[in-house]
């Protein structure tokens, strides 16, 4: 791995010296290649994850959108900006955004192409090289990302791919990378952060979620039910922004549960072409989902639909709706990451907000109401990285929106200008605007600089314009001495 990092560093030196216009052309070539190879990419993703074809194609489409966004917006987002020089007005100040160098990128299996390509694209748009460590469940998809980047940039070593298990990821952190970008579970994220701390390597962590959905008494119940079923079961629930908790106001609870169960019955799970939901990734995920459901049942939860794994080829699980849930259950406290929709009755919106915030996680949350003023008021009280009104999940496909969470959902951002700048170091510059024989803030002959400090304080903060003017004149006299 140290060899891969060294090779990436050498390629990055050349890449960082290319103009932004050249980088943009490479990003556009990469976008074109992703779009042209979308069917092939989707087939590869499907073979490694068990996704349905439509979801696998969305990975390619989302990656292409991210590349198009970066090509269009990176020049402005990374352009040096002027900074105010305060009272030192004879100095010119600015900020530039410099690449870190080599980024260690550790990405998950649930969206192996979209997340890997999006992370790599932002890193190289900012002038970095990198080493990508994809999940051991999706190594071929990771390797394809590396091939496409090499084709578009003409630099074979700019982004290397290191396949392997968690040990490979741990070794990558210790291999001399300049920053680590990690997407994955909370437990592994804590391990990554601890390992990076040994060398004071900065990290950005995009971790798990336990997304809450609040259904108000005035919500469009049929629409909310359809939205909940889609946001809970899309991708077999193996999405960090899946709806994993629904709080429904008492007055519409029974109507909502009836509508959700009816809608969920329509969801087809198999490896057939007409299926809406594909396979889970592996037995360990199936076992976790089963454990959460059994724990909920033992504490009074009621399985209204599904609740069992589907025997046969693959790791399929029935779309499941559980009611009569509470916060004593694992199903409402831990990230489930499976096709389960728990629905809880609440007295009012205030209780819903309190329970939604009663979580270690804070990735996305949504509010469903016909009254947008009320919905915005409720959303403003939610501790989450993203809040949505009358929808869920879709924010990840909006590349200009920064994405990330609070609490155990991680820190730092991906996407948007904020996500792009995660891969840069801001460098502050101070230059001459005019040169004086001596500066008034340098050491004074036989003094401590008290007179200059008093003049500055008066100019900036004295009460009344006349006193501030006198302070300015005294300070100007110091400049002219």
Q: What's the pLDDT tens digit per position in 155-176? A: 999 999 999 999 999 999 999 9
Of 283, 339, 342, the closest CA to residue 311 belongs to: 283
Q: What is the mean pLDDT of residues 254-265?
A: 98
Beta-strand pair 320-323/302-305: antiparallel
Query: pTM, whole model, 2 decimals?
Result: 0.93
Q: Which of 59, 206, 335, 422 is catalytic?
A: 206
Query: Hey, what's the torsion of the CAs at 454, 456, 459, 464, to 10 degrees?
Result: -40
pLDDT of residue 282: 94
The answer, yes or no, to whether residue 439 has pLDDT greater than 80, is no
Class of domain 211-397: alpha beta
Quickly state the pLDDT bin for 47 (edges 50, 70, 90): very high
pLDDT of residue 446: 60
Tell me how far apart the alpha carbons of residues 128 and 122 are, in angstroms, rounded to a whole number. 9
pLDDT of residue 295: 98
216 is catalytic: no
Q: Which of 216, 240, 335, 349 is catalytic?
A: 240
Tell me how far apart the alpha carbons of residues 52 and 145 are, in angstroms, rounded to a whole number. 20
Q: Where are the domains of the chain?
A: 2-207+414-427, 211-397, 440-480
pLDDT of residue 480: 61
Burial grade of 28 (CB within 10 A; 0-12, 13-18, 19 or more)? middle
236 is catalytic: no
Quickly state the pLDDT bin for 478 (edges 50, 70, 90): low
Q: What is the mean pLDDT of residues 62-81?
A: 97
- Sheet of 211-215: strand order equals 302-305, 320-323, 340-346, 243-249, 211-215, 364-368, 386-389
CB count in 10 Å sphere of residue 264: 22
Quickly state the pLDDT bin for 479 (edges 50, 70, 90): low
Q: What's the pLDDT tens digit per position in 290-313? A: 999 999 999 999 999 999 999 877
* Architecture of the domain made up of 2-207+414-427: 3-Layer(aba) Sandwich (3.40)
């Amino acid at each position: 791995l140290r060899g891969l990092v060294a090779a990436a560093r050498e390629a990055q030196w050349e890449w960082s010296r290319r103009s932004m216009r050249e980088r943009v052309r490479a990003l556009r070539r990469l976008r074109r290649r992703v779009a042209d190879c979308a069917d092939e990419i989707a087939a590869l993703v499907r073979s490694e994850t068990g996704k349905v074809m439509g979801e696998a194609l969305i990975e390619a489409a989302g990656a292409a959108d991210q590349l198009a966004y970066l090509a269009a917006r990176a020049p402005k987002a990374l352009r040096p900006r002027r900074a105010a020089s305060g009272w030192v007005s004879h100095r010119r100040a600015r900020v530039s955004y410099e690449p870190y160098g080599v980024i260690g990128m550790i990405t998950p299996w649930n969206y192996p192409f979209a997340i890997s390509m999006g992370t790599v694209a932002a890193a190289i748009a900012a002038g970095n090289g990198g080493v990508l460590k994809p999940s051991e469940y999706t190594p071929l998809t990771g390797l394809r990302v590396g091939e496409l980047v090499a084709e578009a940039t003409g630099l074979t070593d700019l982004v290397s791919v290191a396949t392997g298990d968690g040990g490979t990821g741990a070794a990558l952190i210790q291999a001399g990378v300049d920053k680590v970008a990690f997407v994955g579970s909370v437990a592994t994220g804590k391990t990554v952060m601890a390992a990076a701390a040994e060398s004071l390597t900065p990290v950005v962590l995009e971790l798990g979620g336990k997304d809450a959905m609040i259904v108000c008494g005035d919500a469009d119940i049929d629409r909310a039910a359809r939205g909940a079923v889609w946001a809970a079961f899309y991708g077999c629930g193996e999405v960090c922004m899946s709806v994993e908790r629904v709080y429904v106001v008492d007055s519409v609870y029974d109507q909502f549960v009836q509508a959700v169960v009816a809608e969920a019955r329509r969801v087809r799970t198999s490896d057939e072409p007409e299926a809406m939901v594909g396979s889970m990734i592996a037995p360990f995920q199936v076992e976790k989902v089963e454990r959460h459901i059994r724990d909920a049942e033992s504490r009074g939860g009621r399985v209204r639909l599904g609740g069992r794994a589907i025997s046969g080829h693959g790791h399929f699980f029935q779309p499941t709706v559980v009611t009569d849930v509470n916060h004593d259950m694992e199903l409402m406290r831990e990230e489930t990451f499976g096709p389960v929709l728990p629905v809880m009755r609440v007295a009012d919106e205030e209780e819903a907000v309190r329970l939604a915030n009663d979580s270690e996680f804070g990735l996305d949350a949504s509010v469903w109401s016909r009254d947008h003023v009320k919905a915005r008021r409720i959303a403003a009280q939610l501790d989450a990285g993203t809040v949505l009104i009358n929808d869920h999940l879709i924010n990840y496909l909006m590349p200009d929106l920064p994405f990330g969470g609070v609490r155990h959902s991680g820190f730092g951002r991906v996407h948007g200008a904020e996500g792009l700048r995660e891969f840069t170091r801001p460098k502050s510059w101070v230059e001459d605007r005019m040169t004086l024989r001596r500066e008034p803030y340098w050491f004074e002959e036989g003094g401590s600089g008290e007179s200059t400090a008093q003049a500055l304080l008066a100019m900036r903060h004295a009460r009344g314009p006349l006193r501030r003017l006198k302070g300015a004149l005294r300070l100007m006299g110091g400049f002219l001495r």
